[in-house]
């Protein structure tokens, strides 16, 4: 695909300096720019590349004043980095534009599919499914009965969506993620033989949620497992039954959230974090990678740490090491007192 500088400026609502007919067919970093590509300049330390790059179009801030001649066409915008991100979204949408229903695929007669939808080959759409406008369902996606999907959603190859799942608008689910699998619910008898507890709830994704590849979100036993508006989840996550992830929270890869735990809003959670079940985790939290979270914390707390050894010994040790800062201050005070006594 080729785009003229004039079209790009129109999309970004920017101002052109140079050749408005200049065409580009790709994107590049400014220090690796090649002919036929577009790049951007947002950091002063990269300015020298703007004079040598081979890219044909450069997005720059309105207040950029070159010290040398630039051969590329410039598009001036209030914020070059934000404009480039917007352009990436536009470019990605244009590159992946698909429509129509490929065969072989199965779509139930009772399913409802909105305008401009794409259904790839070998996809399955079950009974009483409702799908909004501009939804893209790539090959080998499975959508079970009674699923509801809003507008402008994308489901990449291999996604599995179990029955009764509700998905809002503008959601993106990457390959091989499973929504609505059974929660981990079993009850042991006196001989420690486990009997399965039926999981009859569902999963709800609110608007603007993105989930990476190979993640699993379990359906609730009763009620709903809820991923709230604006949440971004990385690859290979596990979220247990009846859990809730608050709006605009981001969670990195390989984190596990046990059943019925509620994560607050605007939290930032690193990779390989483990949450125990039935917690009520606050808003605006920061959790460092590989932390083990087993209790509630107040809003705005930053936490880190995980230790695994014999249970009783761990609690004895914890009683000591949590007081180490206070003990250290007492030692310093004692050292000071001893020094004063010796000098006296």
Banded pLDDT at 323 (limits 50, 70, 90)? confident
Q: Which residues are catalytic?
A: 241
Phi, psi of 337, deg, nearest 5: -65, -45
Lowest mean pLDDT among 90-99, 107-116, 253-262: 90-99
Q: How far is 117 from 99, CA to CA, in rounded Å?
A: 6
**Residue 275 pLDDT > 80:** yes
Phi, psi of 309, deg, nearest 5: -155, -175
Residue 142 has a pLDDT of 98
Q: Identify which has the larger pLDDT, 256 or 312.
A: 256
Residue 60 has a pLDDT of 95
**Residue 98 pLDDT > 90:** no
Of the candidates 90, 96, 82, the residue with the CA atom closest to the CA atom of residue 24: 90
Lowest mean pLDDT among 48-52, 76-80, 104-108, 318-322: 318-322
Residue 314 has a pLDDT of 74
Residue 136 has a pLDDT of 96
The two tokens of residue 282 are: 């606050």
Lowest mean pLDDT among 55-64, 263-272, 313-322: 313-322
Residue 169 has a pLDDT of 98
CB 135 within 8 A of CB 118: yes
CB 128 within 8 A of CB 108: yes
**Residue 308 pLDDT > 70:** no
Cα distance from N-terminal residue to C-terminal residue, the chain: 85
Query: What residues contact residue 41 under an 8 Å CB cut-off, 6+ apart?
Result: 30, 47, 49, 50, 58, 59, 60, 61, 64, 80
Distances (CA, A) of 93 to 134, 138, 280: 11, 14, 38
pTM equals 0.77
Q: What is the arithmetic mean of pLDDT over 238-255?
A: 98
Banded pLDDT at 344 (limits 50, 70, 90)? low
The two tokens of residue 305 are: 């740490």
Q: What is the arithmetic mean of pLDDT over 219-227?
A: 96
**Residue 106 pLDDT > 80:** yes
Residue 306 has a pLDDT of 77
**Residue 307 pLDDT > 70:** no
Banded pLDDT at 174 (limits 50, 70, 90)? very high
């Amino acid at each position: 695909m080729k785009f003229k500088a004039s079209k790009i400026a129109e999309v970004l609502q920017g101002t052109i300096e140079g050749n408005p007919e200049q065409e580009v067919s790709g994107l590049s970093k400014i220090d690796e720019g090649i002919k036929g590509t577009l790049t951007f300049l947002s950091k002063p330390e990269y300015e020298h590349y703007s004079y040598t790059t081979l890219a044909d179009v450069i997005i720059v801030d309105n207040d950029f004043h070159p010290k040398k001649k630039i051969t590329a066409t410039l598009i001036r915008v209030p914020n070059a980095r934000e404009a480039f991100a917007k352009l990436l979204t536009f470019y990605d949408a244009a590159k992946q534009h698909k429509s129509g229903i490929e065969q072989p695929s199965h779509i139930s007669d009772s399913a409802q599919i909105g305008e401009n939808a794409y259904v790839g080959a070998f996809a399955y759409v079950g009974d009483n499914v409702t799908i909004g406008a501009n939804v893209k369902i790539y090959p080998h996606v499975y959508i079970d009965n009674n699923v509801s999907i809003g507008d402008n959603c994308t489901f990449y190859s291999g996604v599995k969506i179990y029955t009764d799942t509700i998905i809002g608008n503008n959601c993106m689910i990457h390959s091989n993620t499973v929504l609505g699998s059974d929660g981990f619910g079993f009850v042991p008898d006196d001989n420690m033989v486990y009997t399965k507890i039926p999981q009859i709830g569902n999963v709800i994704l609110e608007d603007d949620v993105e989930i990476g590849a190979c993640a699993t979100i379990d359906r609730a036993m009763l009620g709903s497992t809820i991923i709230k508006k604006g949440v971004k989840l990385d690859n290979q996550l596990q979220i247990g039954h009846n859990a809730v992830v608050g709006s605009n929270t981001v969670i990195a890869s390989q984190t596990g959230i046990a059943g019925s735990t509620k994560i607050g809003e605007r939290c930032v959670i690193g990779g390989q974090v483990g949450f125990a079940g039935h917690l009520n985790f606050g808003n605006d939290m920061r959790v460092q990678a590989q932390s083990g979270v087993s209790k509630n914390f107040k809003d705005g707390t930053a936490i880190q740490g995980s230790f695994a050894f014999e249970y009783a010994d761990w609690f004895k040790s914890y009683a000591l090491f949590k007081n180490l800062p206070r003990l250290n201050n007492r030692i310093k005070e004692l050292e000071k007192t001893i020094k004063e006594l010796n000098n006296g």
